[in-house]
Structure 1
Amino acid sequence: MIDALKTREPAILWEEFSAISHIPRCSKCEADILEYIEAAARENEYEIRRDKVGNMVVVLPPTEGCEQLPGIVVQGHVDMVCEQNEGTGHNFDTDPIRLKVDGDWLTADGTTLGADNGIAVASMLALIKGDFPHGSLELLFTVDEETGLTGATDLDPSIIKHRILINLDSEEEGYFYIGCAGGKETFGTLPLEWEKAPANLAKGKISITGLNGGHSGAEIHRELGNSLVCATRILHELKDLPIKLYNMYGGDKHNAIPREAFIEFLIDDAAADRLNRIAARFQDIFRDEFGETEKHVQVKAELQSSTEENYPERVVSAESLEKLSSMLYTIPHGIQSMSRAIPGLVSTSTNFASLKIEDSSVKILTSQRSDIRSQVSDISNRVASSFLLAGGSAEFTREYPGWQPDPDSALLEHAVNAYSKKTGKKPIITSIHAGLECGVIGAKCGGMEMISLGPDIRGAHTPDERVHISSAERVFQFFLELLVSF
């Protein structure tokens, strides 16, 4: 353990965090950290349960005088995101994380720190090795959270008996998370009719760039610009010039609001001035509508010289273009409803994520989220209807469950009272419009009351990751008190 942590309390928390920082634990490479946890459990003669994907439960019987307390599941994931700055030369398979202290912050030298979710793992190891009062505990160590919640998704629910769960994977002290969004992807395909490209036209291109982009869950409330929504509006006007469309594309990832989109077409040279006016007008429209949020959005029109080598062989028929334009206009994007349980929280949303023309068809990826399961199905069906009504097809993929907030849960009441007693403050009760392990575990283990909490962590998933040392100590002490507050 580095010298700067040797005087911190509770010492066992930092001893364990330092110890696991020497153990490789990138996602999908968790064997060594699981072996370390198992060895600690066996040394203390605790029961161990494993499932086929590697998730582990360490069972702690109640300490003396705490037999009357309800059984609790404490949960965190053992894997970490492994990223490093260029030139660091770190080997995550063999090299320990090099810890360093900057004021009251613990960080790493050029790499991710692994406080997400190493602080949880260290806290749970402290319970295994330490002498803290508690009721019956099931310490659930999940695998492979960072690459898609796969450990939680494949969890065997039979290894969990208790129905109160405290998740230690939040990153803001004083915030209690009591809900998260579930989701689904809706993939649409629309076959296009093609015809031979007419000769002697100019190649035109409209580019929509300069938008911020952002996470389609955690940042959907910011109502950021979506380049594909912008492109849809422009295409609706371009088709009347007329143009001969041969390509359109934008977006990439299901969980990102697209930042750029492009429309490529053939057009008569005589329409060049009108094309430039359309681009300039839509740039003004978007900047006016988005205001300061997207003040750097750009809409650019280009006419490109054509050669025999780069001239398209075919274009979308006028009838197909009309059908495509109308379909795109019906695809919803953004907030669909706000939470009735938590003021200011998005409940249901959809993201128009990506579009490309491939194999003679237009292919569109969208993603839907909601903390109410029925709403995921409803908005997904509405999106699918856009594809089906246009004569296309729809496919649903990557569905994961949400966690509907229950502001009246007994667990939350205990947690709020314990926090107020400990700090003299009231915690902030909230939810997140993104997927969490709690949503998946709760769906697998019916009747589970859950809460998520954690210390101040900044820059997770980047080499700038850091955890506030005093915050981690305060949250750990509060967590210990919460365990015996029932």
Structure 2
Amino acid sequence: MNNIVNISENEIVEGVLAEFSQLAKIPRPSGYEKAVSDYLYKLFSDMGCRVVQDDVNNIIADMEATEDCQEKPLTVLQAHMDMVCVAAEGVDFNPLTDEIKLVREGNLLHADGTSLGADDGMGIAIIVYIMKHLESHGPLRAVITVDEECGMTGAEKLAPEALADARYLINCDSEDWDLLTVGSAGSGDITFRQGFCPMRSSLPKLYRLKVSGLRGGHSGEEINCGGGNAIKALAACLHSWRQKGLAFDLVSFNGGRAKNVIPGGSEAVFYSDAGLEELAAAADESRQEFLAVYGSIEAGAVFAVEPVEDVEAIGTAAGVGRPQAMDRHQKDNLIDLLMCLSNGVSAMSQLCPGLVQTSANLGVVRTVFEADRGEKYIEVQYMPRSANEGSILEYYRTAEILARLTDFELQTGRISPSWGERQDSRLAKLMLEVFAEQNGQPMRMATIHAGLECSWHLQKNPQLDIVSIGTNNNDIHSPSETLELDTVAPQAKLIAEVLCRI
């Protein structure tokens, strides 16, 4: 019997938020999950689960079946504990030490100036709530992984034994309450890196060129929304200056927050002998060219040039005196690389109308000056996605050629597999049936152009019947991230009823 279905929606929301608020207090950017992993270990242990914390800090927590459900098969409830930590411009936020400050406004929950972390803290909170309150269920296993956002290393390193005896897996990392995800794209990991080649510029004035105000967004789910890429826009502006014969020496180029996030802002610091008025006019010309392509989406785009008054504040000074510029060959190579990297959608699915099949995101450019470690380098992070692994390999081959032509060192990570739809999924059929009964409307079913850990889970146990669901999380991976609270209780009730019917 599903007792959760009889709990009021308000009580469910408050209970889930109580769990989520505890997670929000613990800093948990990708790669720094030990504290939240320790918290989850104790939480599940206190709930009576048998808990394992593995070598990479994944949590595997087993809860025995209730007496009336001993014959039911094992079901895994899965989410990830890390989050994308970003702050709005001007917000003082250290993702390694600062908690997420929650703000509740009507039906929306958001953070105070930072990303919220509902992706995927809300998945964990709902799993914990269900395991605490569901009175009748078969054997359950919570699998909470690390590093989903940056490399899916938690899912990759998860021991096959954690999934070998399971029949069903419900992933709680999707972003639409009425969408049943039954497949996802694979992805690649490409990094270009080059040691900084310094020179002392003879040009007299130091400026900053900023591109800002772009919408940004998730590089999988929002890559086909028609927006621009701030790194590409800045590179195009600098390229046009080269074509016009404007003299400039580049000191730094920085933009983007993560390889899987479409960059909404970028900036370059440079020397020039041109006046501010001339440079501003050239930047505005580039903005007009940008708006001619993206204006219907990016009307708020800003291309601005300003003088740099406080030289030390830019953090690029080598010793004392003026910051060094990169030599002109390296400047040209960097701009050439950024201009040549394909960005956005390159192919649509022939089987599923409207679904992106292949895309790429130019996510991050960093000019790094670490005096204490003696490191100076330029780094470019690039992420292709596709339902077809061969298409990702094509990006890898192109990257190899571009790296050779521009003198960059190339680093390529392993390709994350795609997750294909299972035509005979009993779990998907049951989800659709229960959702329609509970909500009086059909549930949509789709394959998505984003990466989910389900693909790695299927590699460990090809017999697993897997689906992915989630609450309405808007503008994820950004300071504008919000959670729609009225989608929380329906998710909890859906999962609870499905567990009772399995």
Superposed displacement of residue 155, structure 1: 1.9
1:347 pairs, out of 344, 348, 357, with 357
Could you tell me which residue of structure 2 aligns to residue 89 of structure 1? none
The one-letter code of the counterpart of 1:404 is W
Could you tell me which residue of structure 1 aligns to residue 314 of structure 2? none
Could you tell me which residue of structure 2 aligns to residue 123 of structure 1? 130
Could you tell me which residue of structure 1 aligns to residue 157 of structure 2? 154
2:485 pairs, out of 462, 468, 479, with 468
Residues 375-415 of structure 1, C-alpha deviations (whole Å, 9 max, x = no match): 33332332332112333321124x56254241624232332
SS state at 1:288 partner: helix
Aligned-CA RMSD value: 4.8
The one-letter code of the counterpart of 1:316 is D
Could you tell me which residue of structure 1 aligns to residue 270 of structure 2? 264
The one-letter code of the counterpart of 1:255 is N
Could you tell me which residue of structure 2 aligns to residue 188 of structure 1? 192
Q: Which runs of 5+ in 1 are unaligned?
A: 87-92
Superposed displacement of residue 304, structure 1: 8.5
Aligned pair 1:335/2:345, yes or no?
yes
The one-letter code of the counterpart of 2:216 is G
Q: Contact conserved, 1:58 with 1:138, CA < 8 A, in 2?
A: yes
Return the alpha-carbon distance in structure 1 between the equivalents of residues 467 and 488 of structure 2.
17
SS state at 2:380 partner: strand
Could you tell me which residue of structure 2 aligns to residue 479 of structure 1? 495
Return the alpha-carbon distance in structure 2 between the equivalents of residues 122 and 267 of structure 1.
63
Aligned pair 1:34/2:41, yes or no?
yes
SS state at 2:462 partner: coil
Could you tell me which residue of structure 1 aligns to residue 75 of structure 2? 72
Could you tell me which residue of structure 2 aligns to residue 138 of structure 1? 140
Q: How does the TM-score come out when normalised to structure 1? A: 0.73
Return the alpha-carbon distance in structure 2 between the equivalents of residues 266 and 339 of structure 1.
46
Residues 260-288 of structure 1, C-alpha deviations (whole Å, 9 max, x = no match): 2326244477xx98756543432221122
1:365 pairs, out of 381, 384, 389, with 381
- Give the 5 Å matches for 1:435-474: 435-456=451-472, 468=485, 471-474=487-490
Return the alpha-carbon distance in structure 2 between the equivalents of residues 189 and 407 of structure 1.
40
SS state at 2:47 partner: helix
Superposed displacement of residue 427, structure 1: 0.7
Percent of aligned positions that are identical: 21
Superposed displacement of residue 454, structure 1: 3.4
Q: Contact conserved, 2:253 with 2:269, CA < 8 A, in 1?
A: yes
Sort the Cα spacing of 1:84 and 1:351 in 2 relative to 1 into closer, same or farther, 3 A: closer
- Give the 5 Å matches for 1:307-456: 316-317=327-328, 323-356=333-366, 362-397=378-413, 399=414, 401-406=416-421, 408-410=423-425, 411-456=427-472
Return the alpha-carbon distance in structure 2 between the equivalents of residues 460 and 274 of structure 1.
38
Sort the Cα spacing of 1:189 and 1:425 in 2 relative to 1 into closer, same or farther, 3 A: same
Sort the Cα spacing of 1:250 and 1:99 in 2 relative to 1 into closer, same or farther, 3 A: closer
Return the alpha-carbon distance in structure 2 between the equivalents of residues 84 and 250 of structure 1.
16
The one-letter code of the counterpart of 2:347 is S
Superposed displacement of residue 212, structure 1: 1.4
Q: Contact conserved, 2:17 with 2:125, CA < 8 A, in 1?
A: no
Sort the Cα spacing of 1:285 and 1:179 in 2 relative to 1 into closer, same or farther, 3 A: same
Return the alpha-carbon distance in structure 2 between the equivalents of residues 116 and 11 of structure 1.
18
SS state at 2:181 partner: strand
SS state at 1:220 partner: coil
- Structure 1 stretch displaced more, 13-22 or 368-377: 13-22
1:293 pairs, out of 277, 297, 320, with 297
Q: Contact conserved, 1:57 with 1:159, CA < 8 A, in 2?
A: no
Q: Which runs of 5+ in 2 are unaligned?
A: 29-33, 91-96, 312-319, 369-374
Sort the Cα spacing of 1:78 and 1:287 in 2 relative to 1 into closer, same or farther, 3 A: closer
- Count of aligned pairs: 456
Q: Contact conserved, 1:49 with 1:159, CA < 8 A, in 2?
A: no
SS state at 1:426 partner: coil
Q: How does the TM-score come out when normalised to structure 2? A: 0.71
SS state at 1:349 partner: strand
Q: Contact conserved, 1:257 with 1:353, CA < 8 A, in 2?
A: yes
Return the alpha-carbon distance in structure 2 between the equivalents of residues 299 and 22 of structure 1.
38
Return the alpha-carbon distance in structure 2 between the equivalents of residues 101 and 243 of structure 1.
50
Superposed displacement of residue 171, structure 1: 4.5
Sort the Cα spacing of 1:78 and 1:262 in 2 relative to 1 into closer, same or farther, 3 A: closer
Sort the Cα spacing of 1:311 and 1:159 in 2 relative to 1 into closer, same or farther, 3 A: closer
Return the alpha-carbon distance in structure 2 between the equivalents of residues 260 and 110 of structure 1.
19
Return the alpha-carbon distance in structure 2 between the equivalents of residues 322 and 406 of structure 1.
45
Sort the Cα spacing of 1:385 and 1:464 in 2 relative to 1 into closer, same or farther, 3 A: closer
Aligned pair 1:176/2:180, yes or no?
yes
Q: Contact conserved, 1:74 with 1:167, CA < 8 A, in 2?
A: yes
Sort the Cα spacing of 1:100 and 1:193 in 2 relative to 1 into closer, same or farther, 3 A: closer
SS state at 2:297 partner: helix
Return the alpha-carbon distance in structure 1 between the equivalents of residues 303 and 102 of structure 2.
46
Superposed displacement of residue 194, structure 1: 7.0
Larger Rg: 1
SS state at 1:235 partner: helix
Superposed displacement of residue 332, structure 1: 1.1
The one-letter code of the counterpart of 2:343 is H
